[in-house]
Chain A
Amino acid sequence: MSATFGTPLLFAYAAVLCTLLSGAVSLLAVRSRPGFLHFGSFFFLFFSGAASIAAGGWTLLAKLTVTDHFALGLPWLDWHLRIDPLSGFFLVLLGTLAVAISLYGPSYTREFARGPAAQPLPPLGVFTALFVLGMQLMLLADDALVFMIFWEMMSLCGYFLVVYQHQHAANRQAAFLYLLLAHVGALVILLSFGVLAAFGGGLTFDQMRAAKLTPLWATLSFACAFLGFGTKAGMVPLHVWLPDAHPVAPSHISAMMSGAMIKMGIYGIVRVSFDLIGDVRWEWGMVVLIIGTASSLLGVLYALMQHDLKRLLAYHSVENIGIILMGLGMSMIFLGSGHKMLGTLGLVAALYHTINHALFKGLLFLGAGAVLYRTHERDLDHMGGLIHRMPVTAFLFLLGSVAISALPPFNGFVSEWLTFQTALQAPALENGLLRTMMPIAAALLALTGALAAACFVKAFGIAFLGKPRTRRVARAREVPVGMLGGMGLLATLCLLLGVFPTTVIEAMGPITQLLVHEALPSATAQGWLWLTPVSPQVASYSAPFVVAAMVVVFGLGYLFLKRGTAPARRVYAWDCGFGQLTQRMQYTSTAFSQPIRRVFGGVWKIEERVDTLASAGLIPRVTNLNYSLHTYDWSWLKCYVPIGRMVLAAANKIGFIQTGNIHTYLKFSFVTLLVFLWIVS
């Protein structure tokens, strides 16, 4: 191995080392000494995260690309490692989440140390560490073999984490489905690398970059990569594993999966199509754009129908991946049709949304975890009024909701705004079809945004506002400071990335330089205050002003309205003069989404049942009314179930070979022999 001192790789290795240590330490965390997990493991995880941030940050700021290799792997193929701005960016993302969960985890995992949900702790720590390790080294990989090894390792450890509480059948099934799709996806990715390797004459990424592909093979390679990585990223219709796997995992793991793991799919798509294959084609962009739009819309529509908080969040991951893909797709379209600068804009928008989603989705999952930790409830319709019991959690969750609903001045809005701006540059395109497609995609993105807002009004409103619907929820307490710290970190970052977009975009310069040899000078030309992606005349946005104005309004409100007036009197809610309110009168999440369910009917397979129980008597009165509603995922019913059935049917048919009758067996070999003899003579 070459000397790595004075390069970001040093930090990267440090991060890997810390991760390994974290795993090693948690091996000691037997039932009697849980401290090794709570403190030891997460302690090292913290430093691992910090080191990855340092490594990534250094690469980004210093615009470095450092390579290294170890004499491992195959005799003729060392392990090639490399850190460049792209991987650095994702390392930062990963490290941030690692730091957040290392603050959050120690308290959260106490739940597994004792009590009803007690589990053996070492697996949790070990596989969390290996999970992070897989992602870190996968980002550092510079040849197909290392990449695949750690890609699969990530998936595998993810499996062990999802199945961690394996006494629940739901966990087992979800984990199985997850691992199956991950495995198949990985094999498809392997094919994509196979094509590149076959043309490039080698497995290292450098050889692949050098490969001269015919359009057909390039497209095939891209298609494989897109399918494979898309499975991991959770794009429609390959997303079915996601809403099952994320909810059942421990919440800090869900945050890690939704925040970091599925982003690795995005990393893969960017790495392969922009970096390895190189010249992207607008046809690919069109496909990506369409799939992205579908994912975002369907993702949010399915999210609206969920009343399991974590499942709702999982579907929102599908939606946000869709938004990221839209950005990528437009970028590909622009690059493919020769508009470098606009392509760069799309790419920046996509990457920006990637890190944003990592932050706020991590935050939201941690928040959901906090609620779960105190109330052991995931069902919205059993929550309510938590803002009084867990004010800080509520506040942080609210920030996350605002961010994910793409509302200013938070980060989610900035990236969506950039995506809109990219779409609005469509007139620059020659191809009329694309020119129409993009704005329509943008309109659907707007629809998505509005629906997302609706969904989070529901999520936050039903869970945290109103009156508690169950006793457990009514008795909830605020979570320990460590968990709040983890969430607070992410929330702060959400705000910062929303308020100072120009700085972030400037930092992303090296990435686009690396991938498309182009940066966005215009975006930051007007200084940190003004974000002007194309030019000040075309569009501009100044988040700091917005925040300032908000502060001013509050200040004035306090000065002129609140000060000196009598304190507000607390009375019964008026409610148009109806009588005493009970918590049963509140809107439930199911009720809340009813109008939308009615408007967009047909997107879901809905089974609605109303059971009424009439009392006996001359005039039968309804004494008991039971309403139940199930929504099913079409893509599951239409794509996966048939395939599963097909395989099982085939397996059922194939049984005839093993009749158990020796004569049949003898006949088999006899016939085989005769056939072969026939063939050769």
Chain B
Amino acid sequence: MGIAALGLYSQAIILFAALALFTSFIMLAQARMMPLIFTFAWQGLLLAVVSVLTAIASKHPELYVSAALTFTLKVVLIPWLLYRLSIKLNMQYDAEAIEHPTLLLLGGVALVIFSYFVAQSIIHLSGLATRNTIAVSIAIELLGMLLMCVRKSAVAQVIGFMSMESGIFFAAVVSTYGMPLIVELGVAFDILVAAILFGVFFFHLKDSFGSLNVGQFNRLSEANQPMPLRDAAGEPSPGDPS
């Protein structure tokens, strides 16, 4: 059914979903630290709004809870945490060079198409008005992962991780009006702890590597390690007078 046929709320939901997707793209392209964090907060906000709208539209009060969780975590706590940390580690002005940004964005677009293609097979199942946005949620998740794959800074990786989670959250909201409460709480708790641990690790990393550039963390590489001695291969040669 075309979007025109939908109710206003649904249209709004789809609109905000699209915006959230857009923020993912911005994050993908955003090289500087502070704006990245803010964009992440924005995405969280959009998702919270979507949850609220869904709650209103579908009269699912418990969605308010998940909206609230989203808001507190993704809009307030985590961005704040990251903000403080990046100031503490005075990297608020850091900007990393993204190689082939256009290629990256094109890749993102490809991912969106891919996730649409993937979602096709299951979309028919949901009776909800918001079902078209499942593809969007998948896309947000994959884009978050893409972000983690390409960004050097640990902070950026954390943001990518978090935006993956948002994507999943979003999927839960739009496909099934959220998860059972206990699960949502548990997930939220985990994410919170994770965020705190990330914070702790930033310091450790800074201490031991002097920077948060994860590209430099390859002390445990095996790629350019020589093989152990041959004699260990237990290759005696029969014929040798032993």
Contact = CB atoms under 8 A, between A and B. Distances in A.
The reply to whether A and B meet directly (CB within 8 Å) is yes
A681 B223 contact: no
B117 interface: yes
A656 B241 CA distance: 39
Contacts of B218: 659-661
A632 B221 contact: no
B215 interface: yes
Contacts of A644: 233, 235
Nearest to B147: A666
Sorting the interface of chain A by its residue count into under 10, 10 to 19, 20 to 34 or 35 or more gives: 35 or more
B120 A170 contact: no
B236 A244 contact: yes
A399 B149 CA distance: 77
A641 B235 contact: yes
A660 B239 CA distance: 42
B149 A243 contact: no
B236 A658 contact: no
B214 A662 contact: yes
A652 B227 contact: yes
Contacts of A631: 239
Interface stretch (A174-182, A191-199, A493-501, A566-574): A174-182
A165 B220 CA distance: 37
Given A660-B222, A662-B214, A681-B118, A632 B237 contact: yes
Contacts of B41: none
Contacts of B217: 660-662
B235 A658 contact: no
A172 B149 CA distance: 46
Nearest to A667: B149
A620 to B, nearest CB: 31
A681 to B, nearest CB: 5
A172 B117 CA distance: 59
Interface string B225-241: 10100110111111111
A644 B236 CA distance: 11
Contacts of B150: 663
B238 A240 contact: yes
A660 B219 contact: yes
Contacts of B214: 662-663
A651 B241 CA distance: 30
A636 interface: yes
Contacts of A662: 157, 214, 217
Contacts of A216: none
Contact of A244 (B120, B233, B242): B242
Contacts of B152: 663
Contacts of B222: 655, 658-660
B90 interface: no
Given A652-B227, A660-B220, A670 B146 contact: yes
Interface string A446-472: 000000000000000000000000000
Contacts of A299: none
A517 interface: no
B69 interface: no
Interface in B188-233: 214-215, 217-225, 227, 230-231, 233
A660 B242 contact: no
Nearest to B154: A662
B149 A308 contact: no
A248 interface: yes
Contacts of A244: 236, 238, 242
Given A174-B242, A240-B238, A632-B240, 6 more contacts: A176-B234, A244-B238, A308-B242, A648-B227, A666-B149, A670-B142
Interface of B: 114, 117-118, 120-121, 142, 145-146, 148-150, 152, 157, 214-215, 217-225, 227, 230-231, 233-242
9 contacts: A247-B242, A641-B235, A644-B233, A648-B233, A655-B222, A660-B217, A660-B219, A661-B218, A666-B145
